[in-house]
């Protein structure tokens, strides 16, 4: 009997890892949504099989390990930039990151079984009672798994990459983002798919949520075209490979290329130019360059910025550059006006751990450990937080690189902007899944806020994104190019922009408290 139990535990462990890995193919760039009901229903069944919180925690951890190992496989790419020095670290980084994030799932699964109302009484139950107990356990899994994903997005600086809401960006379900946000859409994903675990006992109950969603999807109205402003924006993608970007003999080549692209613009107005397509306006109101597109400190860049401004005839340029102040270094976005005058500065405030800074950096620097992306000093310092930049065409909330991953950073704007702007250097993410998943999350921020998002990426994917999160214009990965596009109008403030994730948190809390009350009643009856 003990041997049979051990075999079943091994089967459950391998199944958990495999189902987690299967779930990851629902993310960009594959978006194979058929894996969703198979993987999530399978994990629900394994949770119902678990006879203790410890078994459930093991199932959750192994599932998370499988999911994050494949979903975040792009994390090995930064270690290939200087492969001779860092390539050996890549597998360790991926395994430790996946294993650490999987701990959130382990807590969620373990607590779901621990606080199920009828936990510990399943062996004494009839078939009908066990069916009810299965349903209650799945409700707890829904609540605690959603809370685990919330915790992953907020705790220890947060890392919400590969959230379940990202599966739906190109489906009608994305219309829910202005209402519930990405975390809410993740919970709805679980609410629809976990009941499929009950298909053996209650087929109608299991399939009902899927049918309801399918009917809702067909019933959703087609989104109208957003209004367009008369402001023309030029987005520049110089395509500087990370291995060459900072080489003394190459770095100015990419600056010259960015200047040339900024001068010439597109061959014709973008498709979203209507109703202005008949106008003869080809001079942009704003030019946007990517993150760290000028390879020197702002403190020493007066001549460079003057030359850029002269070549673009004084058109304002928003660009990425590093700067030093009071012995600290910042990853910044600056607005360069006529004659190279720096009018406004935003310093990145949500830094990448071990990328732009190292925890206990002063101590780690003594051992030669620095952030990968930091070109000066032991790492970057964080800016003072979200702020709005007045760009002449409206007020923008600037986001540098992976700040666009965090919905809470966008909600932290001091007032509602007219647009979002992301400057990024996705060359760090390689060419496989990373850049595509990063773009999906930028699109989600636009849809959640009902704001257009202007995205300039060094190697791609540069994009004009409308306030529904749809791609209006793009430059493909690994190409140099430019987009000339009229700025879409912002929509009215969304529900999510006002509430954030608080309703989801309190809803999960209500489910948990209700289960605790039910568990206490069950204990009293027994």
Q: Helix (H, G, I), strand (E, B), or coil: what is residue 431?
A: coil
Extract the tokens encoding 310. 């002269």
Task: Mark whether 107 is an active-site residue.
Answer: no
Residue 426 has phi, psi (to 5 degrees) of -80, 5
DSSP assignment of 218-247? HHSPPPPPPPEEEEEEEEEE----HHHHT-
Neighbour tally for 90: CB within 10 Å: 17
Taking the C-alpha atoms of residue 237 and residue 234, their distance in angstroms, rounded to an integer, is: 10
- Among residues 77, 149, 401, 473, the one annotated as catalytic is 401
Sign of CA dihedral 371, 373, 376, 379: negative
Region for 465 from its dihedrals, namely left if φ exceeds 0, alpha if ψ lies in -120 to 50, beta otherwise: beta
Q: How far is CA 225 from CA 222, 468, 491, in A?
A: 9, 9, 11
What does each C-alpha distance from 312 to 137, 285, 294, 302, 303 come to in angstroms? 62, 11, 15, 16, 15
Q: Is 291 designated active site?
A: yes
Please choose, from the candidates 115, 130, 8, 118, the residue with its C-alpha nearest in 3D space to the C-alpha of residue 59.
Answer: 8
Task: Enumerate the β-bridge partners of residue 236.
Answer: 482
Set 348, 448, 473, 508: catalytic member = 348
Cα dihedral 500, 217, 455, 428 sign: positive
Mutual orientation of helices 177-193 and 502-525 as an angle, nearest 10°? 30
Q: Which SS3 state, helix, strand or coil, does residue 350 take?
A: coil
Q: Which position among 291, 356, 448, 473 bears the catalytic label? A: 291
401 is catalytic: yes
Residue 109: exposure state from Cβ atoms within 10 A (0-12, 13-18, ≥19)? buried
Residues 467 and 447: their CA atoms lie apart, in Å, by: 5
Catalytic residue numbers read 291, 348, 401
């Amino acid at each position: 009997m003990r041997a049979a139990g051990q075999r079943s535990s091994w089967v459950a462990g391998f199944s958990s890892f495999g189902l987690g890995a299967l779930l990851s193919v629902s993310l960009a760039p594959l978006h194979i949504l058929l894996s969703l009901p198979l993987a999530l229903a399978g994990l629900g069944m394994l949770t119902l099989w678990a006879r203790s919180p410890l078994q459930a925690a093991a199932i959750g951890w192994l599932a998370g390990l499988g999911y994050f190992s494949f979903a975040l496989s792009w994390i090995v790419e930064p270690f290939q930039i200087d492969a001779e020095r860092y390539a050996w670290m890549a597998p360790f980084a991926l395994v430790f990151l996946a294993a650490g994030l999987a701990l959130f799932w382990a807590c969620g699964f373990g607590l779901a079984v621990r606080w199920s109302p009828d936990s510990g009484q399943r062996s004494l139950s009839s078939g009908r009672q066990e069916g009810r107990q299965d349903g209650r356990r799945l409700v707890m899994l829904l609540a605690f798994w959603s809370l685990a994903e919330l915790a992953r997005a907020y705790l220890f600086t947060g890392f919400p990459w590969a959230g379940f809401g990202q599966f739906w960006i190109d489906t009608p379900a994305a219309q829910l983002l202005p209402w519930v946000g990405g975390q809410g859409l993740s919970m709805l994903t679980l609410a629809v798919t976990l009941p499929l675990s009950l298909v053996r006992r209650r087929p109608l109950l299991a399939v009902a949520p899927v049918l309801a969603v399918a009917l809702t999807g067909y019933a959703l109205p087609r989104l109208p075209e957003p209004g367009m402003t008369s402001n023309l924006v030029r987005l520049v993608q110089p395509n500087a490979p990370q291995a060459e970007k900072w080489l003394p003999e190459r770095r100015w080549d990419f600056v010259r290329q960015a200047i040339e692209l900024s001068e010439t613009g597109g061959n014709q107005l973008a498709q979203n130019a209507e109703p202005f397509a008949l106008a003869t306006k080809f001079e942009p109101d704003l030019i946007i360059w990517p993150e760290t597109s000028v390879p020197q400190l702002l403190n020493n860049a007066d001549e460079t910025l003057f030359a850029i401004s002269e070549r673009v005839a004084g058109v304002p340029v928003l660009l990425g550059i590093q700067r030093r102040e009071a012995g600290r270094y910042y990853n910044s976005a600056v607005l360069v006006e006529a004659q190279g005058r720096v009018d406004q500065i935003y310093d990145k405030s949500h830094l990448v751990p071990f990328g732009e800074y190292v925890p206990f950096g002063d101590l780690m620097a003594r051992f030669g450990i620095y952030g990968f992306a930091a070109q000066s000093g032991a790492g970057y310092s964080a800016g003072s937080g979200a702020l709005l930049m007045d760009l002449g065409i409206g007020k923008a909330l600037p986001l540098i690189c992976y700040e666009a991953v965090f919905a809470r950073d966008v909600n932290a704007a001091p007032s509602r902007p007219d647009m979002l702007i992301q400057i990024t250097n996705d060359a760090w993410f390689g060419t496989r899944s990373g850049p595509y998943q990063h773009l999906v999350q930028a699109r989600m921020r636009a849809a959640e806020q009902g704001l257009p998002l202007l995205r300039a990426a060094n190697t791609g994917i540069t994009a004009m994104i409308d306030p529904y999160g749809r791609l209006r214009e793009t430059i493909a990965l690994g190409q140099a190019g430019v987009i000339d596009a009229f700025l879409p109008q912002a929509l009215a403030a969304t529900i999510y922009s006002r509430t954030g994730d608080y309703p989801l948190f309190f809803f999960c809390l209500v489910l948990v408290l209700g289960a605790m009350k039910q568990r206490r009643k069950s204990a009293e009856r027994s």
